[in-house]
Amino acid sequence: MNYDLVLVRFGEITIKGRNRNRFEKMLLGQMKTALKAFPALEYERTFGRVYLHLNGASYEQVAERLRDIFGILSFSPVVRCLQEIEIIRDAALQVLRELSPAPRTFKVSVKRAWKEFPHDTMEMNQLIGAHVLRNTPELKVDVRKPDIELKIDVQYENTYVYCKVEKGAGGFPLGMNGKAMLLLSGGIDSPVAGWMALRKGLEIEAVHFHSYPFTSEQAKDKVITLARRLSYYSGKIKLHLVPFTDIQTLISQTGYDSLIITLMRRYMLRITEALAEKNGALAIVAGDSLGQVASQTLGSMNVIGRSSSLPLLRPLVMLDKQDIIDAAVKIGTFDTSILPFEDCCTLFVPKNPAINPNLNIVERVEKYMGDEIIRLTDRAIQETETIVLTEDGIPGEAEEKEDSWF
């Protein structure tokens, strides 16, 4: 069926008052930007929903983009009709007839926001159901497990008829909940963690530590590709590339092989905290998942986490690896993540990394590295290269405008 109208429902319905208004305004702005490839679209915002007039644009193409916009709970192609039972039941018939494949059973579900409508829900169910049955003898009613549910939504101004409800990405409009730094490695996990942070309404800036020339240009390109994929969801993304070779070398010279990963992670967090301060971010997001590797035991997370006072958000901490892989496939980062380019951490990985590092010893080793490690940390921050990535490869502006998304 050639629908001309799409009903878009907003998520997080528990948000109240002024925040609700902000949520809706931000989301509408972000929808417009994400759908800028469809200039014919018109937007009609009412409380808690938006009606999207397609004006000839393809529903399928628009739907594909809508599915990835955060804050959208669900959406439906709908037929809008006047508040008259004859018109509504004809629209119902039309919607049903044009379904492909043709359903064998159906049920009518009426919702009345406008209570003054002359027929109550029961009556409407019967009137519409009977009309459909009369005109399509091959269809049967099944109230328990129908092939399709014919929904009649009586609003104040108009009534909407539809069958299909497509799931949106959920979450919050982008950036509504502030900004965080994402520790982005080349692996499977951290891009997923980044997507989850974006979905929760966090703007993210990615931070990647590399050990060039020990790590290759390809390893760097891989991270750029991953960040660019995330920018499909966020419009654009800033990526900070931190030179980490000297710090890693110094750490590996201390002789505490089993603590190398712990120490590296602590310096990564410290540097990220400094970058967060510079860029106005209030948290750090990482892709750790409990028990996955030595640096992700509770003991390790404890000692590593203490090196920064910013909240450390680990959205994957309780997920199984397979769930993370499934998510990576879904968001389109998996194929890049499994490319075999070495990460700075794999290069220096010791044979027996500590699974329960001792904080006192770790702090002593850090003291032992003295001014030198402080100097190298400051230098790494200074020499950090920052690039802004966009999905279409067009460089973004370095400075964000207040309402910017792309």
Tell me which residues touch ligand ATP (CB under 6 A): 183-185, 187-190, 207-209, 286-288, 292-293, 295-296, 343-345
Of residues 250 and 293, the one with the C-beta less far from Mg ion:
293
Binding-site partner at residue 266 among Mg ion, ligand ATP, none, CB < 5 to 8 Å by type: none
Phi, psi of 114 (to 5 degrees): -90, 100
Q: In whole angstroms, give the CA distance from residue 297 to residue 249.
A: 24
Give the residue among 405, 71, 389 at the shortest CA–CA distance from 206: 389
Q: How far apart are CA 195 and CA 328, in angstroms?
A: 9
Beta carbon nearer to Mg ion, 174 or 294: 294
What residue is closest to Mg ion based on CB? 187
Work out how close the CB of 361 gets to ligand ATP at its nearest, in angstroms, rounded to a whole number: 20
Strand 385-390 with 236-243, pairing: antiparallel
Residue 30 touches Mg ion, criterion: CB under 5 A: no
Checking phi first, is residue 394 left (phi over 0); if not, alpha (psi -120 to 50) or beta?
beta
Tokens of 181: 């730094």
The distance of closest approach from Cβ of residue 209 to ligand ATP in the complex, given in angstroms and rounded to an integer, is: 4
Q: How far is the CB of 264 from ligand ATP (least distance, A)?
A: 8
Sort strands 105-112 and 148-154 into parallel, antiparallel or unpaired: parallel
Rounded least distance, CB 208 to Mg ion, Å? 11
Query: Is the CB of 176 or the CB of 196 nearer to Mg ion?
Result: 196
Nearest-CA neighbor of 61 among 36, 78, 80, 85? 36
User: Is the bond leading into 395 cis (omega within 30 degrees of zero)?
Assistant: no
**Which residue, 345 or 362, is less far from Mg ion as judged by CB?**
345
**End-to-end CA, the chain:** 32
Q: Which of 30, 185, 289, 307 binds Mg ion (CB under 5 A)?
A: 185
Nearer to ligand ATP, 30 or 190 (CB): 190
- Tokens describing residue 86: 């004859």
190 binds, among Mg ion, ligand ATP, none (CB under 5 to 8 A by kind): ligand ATP
Shortest distance, position 298 Cβ to ligand ATP, whole Å:
14
Which of these segments, 18-26, 179-187, 268-276, 332-340, binds Mg ion (CB under 5 A)?
179-187
Q: Answer with the entry of Mg ion, ligand ATP, none that 344 interacts with (C-beta below 5 to 8 A by kind).
A: ligand ATP
Q: Rule CB under 5 A: choose which of 77, 173, 187, 194 binds Mg ion.
A: 187
300 binds Mg ion (CB under 5 A): no
Side chain identity, residue 17: G
State the binding partner of 259 from Mg ion, ligand ATP, none, CB within 5 to 8 A by kind: none
For residue 189, the minimal CB distance to ligand ATP (Å) is 3
Residues 6+ apart with CB under 8 A from 283: 178, 180, 181, 202, 276, 310, 311, 312, 313
Do the Cβ atoms of 55 and 42 come closer than 8 Å?
A: yes
Q: Which residue is nearest to ligand ATP (CB)?
A: 187
Report the distance separating Cα 137 and Cα 143, nearest Å. Answer: 17
CA 56 vs CA 4, 38, 39: distances in Å: 7, 10, 10
Q: Which is nearer to ligand ATP, 28 or 344 (CB)?
A: 344
Least Å from the CB of residue 91 to ligand ATP: 50
**Using CB under 5 A, which of the segments 55-63, 184-192, 310-318, 374-382 binds Mg ion?**
184-192
Residue 188, contacted partner among ligand ATP, Mg ion, none, CB below 5-8 A by kind: ligand ATP
From the CB of 217, what's the least distance to ligand ATP, in Å? 15
The set of long-range contacts for 315-319, using a CB threshold of 8 Å and a minimum separation of 24, is: 315/192, 315/193, 315/196, 315/197, 315/200, 315/285, 316/189, 316/192, 316/193, 316/196, 316/287, 316/288, 316/289, 317/288, 317/289, 317/290, 318/289, 318/290, 319/289
Q: Using the minimum distance from each CB to ligand ATP, give the nearer residue, 95 or 316.
A: 316
Q: How far is the CB of 181 from ligand ATP (least distance, A)?
A: 10
Interface residues with Mg ion (CB under 5 A) are 185, 187
